[in-house]
Amino acid sequence: ELFDRAIRLDRRFAQAYAGLCDAYIGAYDFARDPKSFENAEAACHRALTLDDGLWEVHVALGNLYRTNAQYENAILELNAAVELQPHAVSPYLGLAETYSAQNRLELAEATYRQAEEIDGGYWGVHRAFGIFLYRHSRFDEAIKRFTKVTELVPDSGIGYDNLGITYLQIAELDKAKATFNASPLPSRWTYLNRGLVYYYSGDFEKAVEDQKRAIEIAPDVHASWGFLGDAYRFIPGEEDNANIAYEKAIDLATQHLAINPNDWRAVGQLSMYLAYAGRTEEALSRIEELLKHSSDGDTYYFVTRVRLHVGDANGARDSLKLVVDSGGWSPALLARNPDFAGVRNEDGFRELLQQPRG
């Protein structure tokens, strides 16, 4: 609203257009509404036309390029911002996130540390660094970063959401639920992830309630619809509602991949939605595509769930071993996954799911 007001006062206010671009990118990240991405493109290019000498314009354009996987262009724009304003923290955060997306992990971490040197008291630095640590299974370090966020901005729910999902990932379900419940400003992330706590706890009705709350806040997020389908699938008599949710998730994930075709996590999620919707050939095709481009723990987790659902127990066991070996998933959390209930006591699966967290 503030950016819109500035633009109305001065239609040539490039800085306001850059801020509006970043705001629309944030809205897209939050709600996955393709219209937000289109608006971000328009605002960014208007800002660039008005004044290409502002560092804020190059940050916004770099963030836009990263959002749809144009990583080299993103780096060019963000480095231009650094040259124009070497003491601003946002260009470094944008660069670090872009390097992380390219799997240039050492460079990404070094750049996060540069951002921390510039402004170690800014909560956004700790949150961004924490997300990086979380994505690469450094959960104890991530917990410290997210705890710092809750201390720096105690009236915001941001740190609580990130802290709660980290506790969930290491199977500390009670801590995760308590953290989500303590959030002073519950968001769609709060409800989505607390819904997962209920799902892993076997309370599928409450999982449905929380996913519906998340969908009310942000109806275009495919993951919420997918998790809603998962919860419905384990409630007798709710098969039709599960299928409706999965089909909606398929539609939204497909729209997102049209914007960022290199979001391999979304490809993996889409493969699961397709499998549970009974579209087996499409699911297996997506898995084949995914395995050509990605080999992290999340990738093998999606592969495992699809293989289990289509009856490929041997293949599922092989990919589950890769999930556990990656260190990205707690065996204790995997053991509580309702989808693994039928195999958790079988030879080969039992040994993997009983391993201590590395």
Of 337, 68, 15, 66, the closest CA to residue 7 belongs to: 15
Confidence of residue 34 (pLDDT cuts 50, 70, 90): confident
Q: 210-225: per-residue pLDDT in tens?
A: 999 999 999 999 999 9
> Helices (H) and strands (E) in the chain — how many of each?
21, 0
Q: 277-311: per-residue pLDDT in tens?
A: 999 999 999 999 999 999 999 999 999 999 999 99
Check whether residue 114 and residue 93 sit in a common domain.
yes
Check whether residue 6 and residue 111 sit in a common domain.
yes
Of 313, 322, 337, the closest CA to residue 290 belongs to: 322
Residue 194 forms part of a structural domain: no
Check whether residue 3 and residue 103 sit in a common domain.
yes
Check whether residue 217 and residue 302 sit in a common domain.
no
Residue 147 forms part of a structural domain: yes
Confidence of residue 7 (pLDDT cuts 50, 70, 90): very low
Q: Using CB atoms within 10 Å of the CB of residue 87, give its burial: 0 to 12 exposed, 13 to 18 middle, 19+ buried.
A: exposed
Q: State the angle between helix axes of 90-101 and 71-84 in degrees (0 to 180), rounded to the nearest 10.
A: 160
Cα end-to-end span (Å), the chain: 46
**pTM of the full structure:** 0.87
**Interval 151-172 mean pLDDT:** 96
* Segments forming the whole domain that contains residue 357: 260-358
Q: Kindly report the backbone phi and psi dihedral angles of residue 56, in degrees, each rounded to the nearest multiple of 5, phi listed first.
A: -65, -35
Q: How many angstroms from the chain centroid is the CA of residue 53?
A: 32
Check whether residue 46 and residue 141 sit in a common domain.
no
Chosen domain end from 82, 100, 119: 119
Q: How far apart are CA 276 and CA 239, in angstroms?
A: 10
Check whether residue 26 and residue 3 sit in a common domain.
yes
Residue 193 forms part of a structural domain: no
Q: Is residue 73's pLDDT more than 70?
A: yes
Q: What share of the chain is helix, strand, coil (3-state, %, to 5)?
A: 75, 0, 25
Residue 307 forms part of a structural domain: yes
Instruction: Report the mean per-residue pLDDT for the chain.
Output: 93
Check whether residue 31 and residue 133 sit in a common domain.
no
Chosen domain end from 81, 98, 119: 119
Chosen domain end from 186, 214, 231: 186
Given a contact cutoff of 8 angstroms between Cβ atoms, the answer to whether 268 and 257 are in contact is: no
Buried b (16+ CB within 10 A) or exposed e, 111-139: bbebbbebbeebbbbbbbbbbbbbbbbbb
Residue 289 forms part of a structural domain: yes
For residue 143, the model assigns a pLDDT of 98
Check whether residue 100 and residue 135 sit in a common domain.
no
Check whether residue 43 and residue 92 sit in a common domain.
yes
Q: How far apart are CA 316 and CA 259, in angstroms?
A: 30
189 versus 28: the higher-pLDDT residue is: 189
Check whether residue 245 and residue 339 sit in a common domain.
no
Residue 136 forms part of a structural domain: yes
Check whether residue 11 and residue 101 sit in a common domain.
yes
Q: How far apart are CA 178 and CA 165, in angstroms?
A: 11
Q: 339-356: per-residue pLDDT in tens?
A: 999 999 999 999 999 877
Check whether residue 101 and residue 112 sit in a common domain.
yes
Task: Residue 147: give its domain's CATH number.
Answer: 1.25.40.10
Confidence of residue 11 (pLDDT cuts 50, 70, 90): very low
Domain count of the chain? 4
Residue 18 forms part of a structural domain: yes
Residue 191 forms part of a structural domain: no
